[in-house]
Structure 1
Amino acid sequence: MLLVRGKKELSGKVKISGSKNAALPILGAALMLNGKVRLTNMPKIGDVKTFLDILEGIGVKYNWEGTTLNFDSSNITNQNLNFEKIKKIRSSIFLLSPLLHFFGSIKIPFPGGCSIGKRPIDAHLNGLEAIGYNYQYENDEIILDGNLQSGEKILNAGFGVSSTENLIVANVLRPGTTIIKAAAIEPHVMNLISFLRTAGADIKIRYNHEIIVSGVEKLVNDFDFEIVSDYIESGTYMIIGALASKEYIDIENARIDDLYIFIEKLKESGVKVEDLGNDTLRVFKATNLKSVQIQTNIFPGFPTDLQSPFAILQSQAEGISKIHEVLFEGRLSFLVELEKMRANVAVMNPHEALIFGPNKLKGGVTVTSWDLRAGAAMVIAGLIAEGETKITNVEYIYRGYEDFVSKLKVLGADLEEIND
């Protein structure tokens, strides 16, 4: 549990860590190298640690040097999979393509993750079936086996990020050409493609969300590769700067270009920002915030992972703000926690909500983290509320934000971990 004492004025700078959403698929893809690789800017977060535990069970050797992960997949097996840990994180879906490539079969439970709504894996399974792997369900487990087919294949990723990533990895060593249609092009997908290209993969990207993978005979290993910085973490600190700073905070490795639509919405709300160069953004304390409407979308649209933190900004704006969450029907559920802090909200349906502002948020309550991003949002609410706010289920936050508490303390926040 976190105890947050509100109304402290923050200042200073924060350096954004490596991206959770890039690190996890790259760890899965690194199995395809069947050798060593050094991954720099790797975030030490809960999901990465859990995934490494799973990978260690199937023979991966690794060690840390600061934020560099030395990774060796020379002696992997498809045995000893830790089903209990696989159930905890959705990133275990990235085991499918590498283990099928090397062993032709895999049996895993349905991967876990945040409770933000249905995230089907049909695009993963249908794409794998199209290249030769049959699948079936057995209770709460998925069983896949078969033989990799050659030749040209056309697959549909359904604009899913993880399905796009899995289908890319599944085809980099497959003889033939694969056209992945309706592919996601989020920054973390591009980082995965850069990783695989460094290893020798032949991957092309078209303007119309098509990714073309031409299979190569082998991938090289024993190289260094940098995990891209986390644009979702960056956007979270932009909101913190706008709401809780004394004058401003500076955000290093901000991924400014990746957040164009998000930053434009900040500006529309009345938040002043300044590009200091070298991918550093200064975000000024906001006054007289204006209500805005947001609609989440696939990249380069407004990121769904920043919808929850942005709702806290909207709660401080004059007028009626609207959220239209296109992608996940469970993402607005956390607003009941904001109501406990005296915010005036109306959830109209699983995808739309109104926020009536401005609201003077009140502490003195215990709220919970519904998911990773909602947990961060409730911390932001606690930072600007009067009094003390207790936040439970904070393990969700630690799954995706590296050193969240210590980074906030360096900026001047007053918060601490306490026993339930």
Structure 2
Amino acid sequence: MEKMIVKGQQKLSGEVTIGGAKNSTVALIPAAILADTPVKFDSVPDILDVHNLMLILKAMNVDSTYRRGELLVDPTKIKSVPLPGGAIRSLRASYYFMGALLGKFGEAIVGFPGGDNIGPRPIDQHIKGFKALGAHVEEKENTVHITTGPEGLHGARIFFDLVSVGATINVLLAAVKAKGLTIMENVAREPEIVDLATFLNNMGAHIRGAGTNEIRVQGVDSLRSKNVHTIIPDRIEAGTYLSFAAANGNGVLVKNVITEHLDPFLSKLEEMGVRMEIDEDEIYVPGGDVLSPVNIKTAPFPGFATDLQQPITPLLMKARGSSTIIDTLYPERTKHIPEMQRMGAKISSKDGIITVGHSIDLSGTVVEAGEIRAGVSLVGLALMAKGTTVINKADNILRGYDRIVEKFRGLSVDLEVINESESLNH
């Protein structure tokens, strides 16, 4: 277990370059096994999830090497094997191997998905999509066994009952090599889905409509990689640093940003009174603004991202008055609240509404990162507090934030990550 030690009352100043999108990367790596050639990715974030996915690839006899943001995946000697439940359970997005293996071999045996514990995330829409494509799905204990008949997968019309990023990606991966035309309706429109479709199309897939609410897939026999795929910048990482810069910064430049991906978030910052200089691919936040409270309601893209409702919290605490957040996607995403209360923050949750008040008397203490975004929001708060904060279970933060210690150092902020087992041995 890792713990992070954050000294309080440190202001951010300087610049930070945003890495490749975590939510793209965790779909692109499973998608790579559909190729009949080696595949190369660029701008790959150095996060725990990437290294865990590489372990799953290894179990399938797929070689992969990662160096300084470049990932090479060679699926040419892949074997169809049941995927280890342990690795799957520790990593939510590994369930994308279901769609990829189904598309590749017509069969997938996958341990039940894990990942962040932020309330129920059922996979019924994924299974509905696989069945529509002609697959047979059996759930046994903690394992999902998906098979197709001798004729394989076939195109179908699939209407999702609710907008789900996971189901959109998984069914898309299965449909790419299915015979005929698949029409997927009421799909998610996230930029990461567009990124995945771009990668697959560059290898010879026929996918139209990614980024709209209807995707059409004409199945192909073979996918071959011809060039390096550069992963889009992580809009959630960008939003996190922008939020901390506005709350507690003294001149911060956030580089490598696709500003359109952040429109709903940036408009909330403007509504609060945050000054920003927005250029083509970077945003400068001078900091030190007098801020007004706002009301936030999360929604699927292009709405306000659920992944940013916790990272914006420290900023809301700087506003003169009371703000509210309603998370329509994951109402149980509240693991940060008791931890923040321990630090003296005025934050509470009742009947699905999170209320955030002006909080000035913050002090460091020992807290716990329940999941990625809850954990990182505690980092933002710890920097504003008096004294030192110790964040236990910091590996949850490292799962999703690329080289966070190094990046904060570039912003004149000192963070320390200590590995518990190492500190016990010394």
In the superposition, the TM-score normalised over structure 2's length comes to 0.94
- Helix, strand or coil for the counterpart of 2:9? coil
Please state how far the C-alpha of 1:151 moved relative to its aligned partner: 4.5
Aligned equivalent of 2:362: 361
Deviations 1:119-159 (A, max 9, x none): 11011111001111111221111111123243543342731
Q: Matches of 2:345 and 2:144 in 1, distance apart?
A: 43
Please state how far the C-alpha of 1:236 moved relative to its aligned partner: 0.3
Please state how far the C-alpha of 1:416 moved relative to its aligned partner: 1.2
1:267 aligns to 2:270 (yes or no): yes
1:27 aligns to 2:29 (yes or no): yes
1:174 aligns with one of 175, 178, 192: 178
Asked if the contact 2:194/2:210 (under 8 Å) is kept, the reply is no
1:109 aligns to 2:144 (yes or no): no
- Helix, strand or coil for the counterpart of 2:310? helix
Asked if the contact 1:4/1:416 (under 8 Å) is kept, the reply is yes
Runs of 4+ in 1 over 6 A off after TM superposition: none
Between stretches 199-208 and 102-111, larger displacement belongs to 199-208
- Aligned length in residues: 416
Aligned equivalent of 2:199: 195
Q: Show structure 2 runs of 5+ residues with no match.
A: 421-426
Letter in 1 for 2:277: E
Asked if the contact 1:115/1:371 (under 8 Å) is kept, the reply is yes
Q: After TM superposition, list the pairs within 5 Å mapping 1:155-170 onto structure 2.
A: 155-156=159-160, 158-170=162-174
Letter in 1 for 2:356: I
1:411 aligns to 2:414 (yes or no): no
Aligned equivalent of 1:400: 400
Aligned equivalent of 2:239: 235
Between stretches 256-265 and 216-225, larger displacement belongs to 216-225
1:127 aligns with one of 126, 129, 146: 129
Aligned equivalent of 1:306: 308
- Percent of residue pairs bearing the same amino acid type: 33
Aligned equivalent of 2:88: 86
Please state how far the C-alpha of 1:82 moved relative to its aligned partner: 2.4
Letter in 2 for 1:267: E
Please state how far the C-alpha of 1:208 moved relative to its aligned partner: 5.7
Q: After TM superposition, list the pairs within 5 Å mapping 1:254-293 onto structure 2.
A: 254-275=257-278, 277-293=279-295
Q: After TM superposition, list the pairs within 5 Å mapping 1:34-49 onto structure 2.
A: 34-49=36-51
Indicate the RMSD between aligned Cα atoms, in angstroms: 1.6
Asked if the contact 2:362/2:385 (under 8 Å) is kept, the reply is yes
- Helix, strand or coil for the counterpart of 1:102? helix
Q: Matches of 1:188 and 1:250 in 2, distance apart?
A: 24
1:138 aligns to 2:140 (yes or no): yes
Q: Matches of 1:58 and 1:29 in 2, distance apart?
A: 14
Q: Show structure 1 runs of 5+ residues with no match.
A: none
Asked if the contact 2:16/2:407 (under 8 Å) is kept, the reply is yes
Between stretches 153-162 and 91-100, larger displacement belongs to 153-162
In the superposition, the TM-score normalised over structure 1's length comes to 0.95
- Helix, strand or coil for the counterpart of 1:218? coil
Specify whether residues 103 and 340 from structure 1 end up closer, same or farther in structure 2 by C-alpha distance, changes over 3 A only. same
Please state how far the C-alpha of 1:168 moved relative to its aligned partner: 1.0
Asked if the contact 1:42/1:68 (under 8 Å) is kept, the reply is yes
Letter in 2 for 1:160: S
